[in-house]
Structure formats: C-alpha cells, structure tokens
Amino acid sequence: MIDSFIIAFSTYSRLPMPKADWNEKSMKYAMCFFPMVGAVVAIAELFVWWVALKLQTYNMITAFFLMLVPIMVTGGIHLDGLFDTEDALHSYGDREKKLSILKDPHIGAFAVIYGVMYILGGYSLATEMDIEALLSVCFGFVISRELSGISVVCFPKAKKDGMVSTFSENADRKVKNVIIAELILTVVCMFSFFIFGKIELVYPAVTLAAAAVSFLRYRYRIVPEFGGTTGDLCGYFLCNCEFLILLANILITKILEMKVFP
C-alpha cells in the first residue's frame, strides 16, 4: 500500500517522493490514493488563505496564489490534458484525428485560446472568494479526483497504451468500490462540516451539483467523441469540474450577498 501511495503522488503531483516498486500489485491500488493529492491541494489553499489574512493582502494577490497552488502541487499535469483536449475537440476531425492530436506534443491555437480563458476566468472568480466558498471549493479538489478515478477504472479506454490504460488494467472491482466509498465519505464529511459549522448548506449542495453536471457531460458528451477516455481527457475533466465548482460557489456567494433568499 505504501508503494501505491508513492506511485499516486509521483504520478499526479510534484511533491518529492521516495522510490517505489512499480509492479502490478502496487499499481493496482494507486488510484485509491489519487484523491489524497486533492486533499494536499485543499490544505495548501487554506494555508494560503490564512497567510493572506495575516498579511492583509489585496484580493488580486490572494487570488493569484490560490490559482497558483494547484499548478505548483500537480506540476500542471491536468492543465496539459485540458490544453490538448481543447485542440482535439476544436479540430472537428474524426476520432482518429482527435486521438492523434492528443498525442501531438505541440500546442495549437485553440489550446492557447481556451487555456488563457480558463486561467483568467479562474483568477477572476478567485478574487471574489470568501472563506465559505473556499471551504466548499477545497472539498471539490477531492471530489473531482474521486470522480476522475472512477472514470479511469470504469469508463472504456480510447487506447490500449498510456497511463490510464495501465492503471485501469491493474485495477480490479475492489478499487472501484474503494473510490466510490471515498466519494460517499467525502460528500458526507462535506455536508457534516457545513452543518456543524452552521454554514449555509447551499455551498456543498452546489459543489456536488456542479461536480455531477461536469461528470455527466464528460461521460456522455466528451468520452464518446474519442471512443473512450485517456489521460488527457481525465485532465480535461478534472480542470473543468474544478472550474465549474468554483463558478457555482462564487455565484452562490454573490446571490447570498444580494439577499435574494430570506
């Protein structure tokens, strides 16, 4: 299990890890530890928020570091998937062409366009962050990875080679059940945290709704275009899921400030 933990963090983060034995047994359960990378991101985000409060930084500076944390922790691996997938989707070619674009190491115009929109959009939304929304978004970092892990284990694969196929081939039914159990536990903890913290339950509700919408779109709109999922598509999903969660929480924050609801 220790090797599985190290493999998960070595693959999906840039945190220094000791060497691990990459055998069939250790790779089987690696996806079970993938959500823990999201927990590290969440803790780092809360630390940045705490430091910003102590230093009384401007919202724009705080937002910059809040956007920087996920990139620093993951090394931008998921953004790479977002950029490649946007290029492939906007090629409007057949399935083979889309898959070949995913393999191409060069960046295209649509990757730049949508990548800049994604980063600027996330940064702009983060300038409106408050602690309630941030707490909800932090749970989203874990939920997005749990859903991504489920897609790796359960969805059809577009290619027989690659990282996703490797992890999927070594996983078994127990892995899927473990990740689903982690997702249920995370959702229960999220709602419990807000209930006992006497915070508006609309925050975890919109986080869960945004994650569900993003996951369903990914499963029934994006994956069929490629004939299955890939590592790049998983990164695309994760980025879009987290962006939609951020957007939903900021919108709810502004609606509550307007006192639309009694």
Residues in the chain: 262
pLDDT at 119 over 80: yes
Handedness of CA 25, 28, 33, 34 (dihedral sign): positive
Kindly state the percentage of the chain with pLDDT values over 90.
Answer: 74
Mean pLDDT, rounded, of the chain: 91
Q: Are 164 and 230 in contact (CB under 8 A)?
A: yes
186-240 pLDDT, tens digit per residue, is 999 999 999 999 999 999 999 999 999 999 999 999 999 999 999 899 999 999 9
Residue 122, pLDDT score = 97
DSSP class of 110: H
Distance CA 159, CA 228 (A): 8
Positive or negative CA dihedral for 75, 203, 180, 238? negative
Is-contact 169 153, C-beta < 8 A? Answer: no
Query: Among 96-100, 123-127, 208-212, whose mean pLDDT is lowest?
Result: 96-100
Q: Which two tokens stand for residue 241?
A: 């899921």
Q: Cα–Cα distances in Å, from 47 out to 31, 55, 188, 250?
A: 26, 12, 23, 20
The angle that helices 77-89 and 231-257 make with each other, rounded to 10 degrees, is 100
pLDDT, tens only, 8-59? 899 999 999 998 887 777 777 888 999 999 999 999 999 999 999 999 999 9
Instruction: Give the model's confidence band at 170: pLDDT under 50 very low, under 70 low, under 90 confident, else very high.
Output: low
Report pLDDT for 161: 67
